[in-house]
Amino acid sequence: MSLGWTLHGDGRTLTPGAVVAPDERLSWPRTIGIGLQHVVAMFGATFLVPLLTGFPPSTTLFFSAIGTAAFLLITGNKLPSYLGSSFAFIAPIAAAKGADGDLGVAVGGILASGLLLAVIGAIVHVTGGGWIDAVMPPIVTGTIVALIGLNLAPSAYTNFKGAPATALITLVAIILVSVLFKGMLGRLSILVGVVIGYVAAVIQGQVDFTAVRQADWLGLPTFHAPSFDPAVLGLFLPVVLVLIAENVGHVKSVAAMTGRNYDRLTGRALLADGAATTLAGLGGGSGTTTYAENIGVMAATRVYSTAAYWVAAGAALVLSLSPKVGELIATIPAGVLGGAATMLYGMIGILGARIWVQNKVDFSNPVNLTTAAVPLIIGIANYTWVIGDLRFEGIALGTAAALLIFHGMRVVSRLTGANQEAATPASAPNGTEITR
């Protein structure tokens, strides 16, 4: 692996249609500027996860930076990506924390998820990833993503009703920015909406800056050691399926944009995200995933240089070492979070449906229809199954149902000769990023 980059042209200009490849870079001032743009792109979603789950924002940002650096190293500095907080962890974290708000068990769940993903990544690297498409075709992947988003609806409403006026201002701002503005500003609609909602909350006296004034400018984040409770592991492990789909989608997206074949890096990408999530689980950070927002930055700039991501990781690390920045982020009130979460959780649900649409899933096929219908109700209603000390809730049960129904009905179809079209799964996931 080489951390060197070839200068693209004169390093200052891009000819029409030209792209800066992952192993190239522009001049360092321009590279730094693009790297900081990546920080802005990931910031809104990355800091919302700890705010919604009660994790320290600075700690999450710290492990996001470390995880991104680890990802670049493990993938041989060939695959441009920023690893931010995954929204798929929000529901299991909330359930694992329980009434006492203890982060240890939730951190342990994140650690277990990271280890499992890393193991799967190592297996894919050795065996190839064809079996992933067979086990998780688009009907299954889309259903899992959709039920995770819809399962979070009650959490969004809880925050929304805490300050309805502020939440509504935030939500309307997000909607208007996404509609009225194109390019990068439109892509940052959630971040802009949160800023507008925050200003509204300050005007209404809903923000207390005492902790910000008392915090130091420099200092280490707050770390939390993991603890393990087998009863909650079932809440976290289904998230691994979403992380697999996101990483596979990321590899395919970068390949499509750069015109290079990165299939050989799929296993490394999964291993790298698993390692990053494991590191976060060792110290109290949120689980990580590759970010579609940064894919958007690359698509807009046509600069795919991994050098920009090293800059982004360094800038995020510097920000994470300022307790004052962390405390400022933590002052965002529930109303603002409720408005943003209403949009975000709904987007996760609809992104699941987008996977179906883009892969032309046929819902006239009863196998596909049943695979989606039953798990969605399980996830939305948050069905619960308790076996001794083990507790499985909507996301875990819905994920299991999607896999069992799809593959079970296909086996029955083969054995009976009925509904033969069910014997062939829908096309493999395309290069679309799925969710956080």
164-178, 236-250, 257-271, 300-314: segment of lowest average pLDDT = 236-250
Backbone angles phi, psi at 303, to 5 degrees: -115, 110
Q: Which residues pair with 386 in a beta bridge?
A: 391
Q: What is the DSSP letter of 19?
A: -
Alpha-carbon distance of 203 to 242, in angstroms, equals 39
Instruction: Kindly report the average pLDDT of the chain as a whole number.
Output: 84
Name which of 20, 34, 18 is nearest 8 in CA terms.
Answer: 20
Ranges of H-type helices in 284-364? 292-301, 306-320, 323-330, 334-358
Please, what sign has the CA dihedral across residues 357, 359, 361, 367? negative
Q: Is residue 84 within a helix (H) or strand (E), and if so which, with residue range?
A: strand 83-85
CB 286, CB 49: distance < 8 Å: yes
- pLDDT-derived band of residue 74, with 50, 70 and 90 as boundaries? very high
Report the first-to-last Cα separation within the chain, whole angstroms: 28
pLDDT in tens, 41-53: 787 778 878 888 8
Contacts of residue 151, defined as CB under 8 A and 6 or more positions apart, other chains included, come to 91, 379, 380, 382, 394, 395, 398
CB 159, CB 302: distance < 8 Å: no
Q: What is the DSSP letter of 331?
A: T
pLDDT in tens, 176-201: 988 888 765 666 677 788 889 999 99
3-class SS at 17?
Answer: coil
Alpha-carbon distance of 303 to 318, in angstroms, equals 23
pLDDT in tens, 267-310: 999 999 999 999 999 998 999 988 867 777 787 678 889 999 99
CA dihedral 73, 78, 84, 87 (to 10 degrees): -120
Q: Which residues pair with 303 in a beta bridge?
A: 20
For residue 431, what pLDDT is reported?
A: 47
**Position of tokens 């909507």?**
394
Distances (CA, A) of 217 to 62, 65, 70, 105, 235: 15, 19, 26, 30, 37
134-148, 241-255, 265-279: segment of lowest average pLDDT = 241-255
- pLDDT-derived band of residue 214, with 50, 70 and 90 as boundaries? confident
Is residue 1 scored above 70 in pLDDT?
A: no
Distances (CA, A) of 104 to 91, 232, 282, 283, 384: 16, 12, 10, 10, 22
Phi-psi sector, 392: left (phi>0), alpha (psi -120 to 50), beta: beta
- pLDDT-derived band of residue 384, with 50, 70 and 90 as boundaries? confident
For residue 184, what pLDDT is reported?
A: 56
Greater confidence (292 vs 327) lies with 327
Give the mean pLDDT of 132-159: 83
Is residue 436 scored above 80 in pLDDT?
A: no
Name which of 93, 112, 16, 46 is nearest 288 in CA terms.
Answer: 46
For residue 72, what pLDDT is reported?
A: 95
3-class SS at 385?
Answer: strand
For residue 91, what pLDDT is reported?
A: 79
Q: DSSP E strands: which ranges in 157-205? A: none
For residue 425, what pLDDT is reported?
A: 56
Q: Which residues pair with 83 in a beta bridge?
A: 290
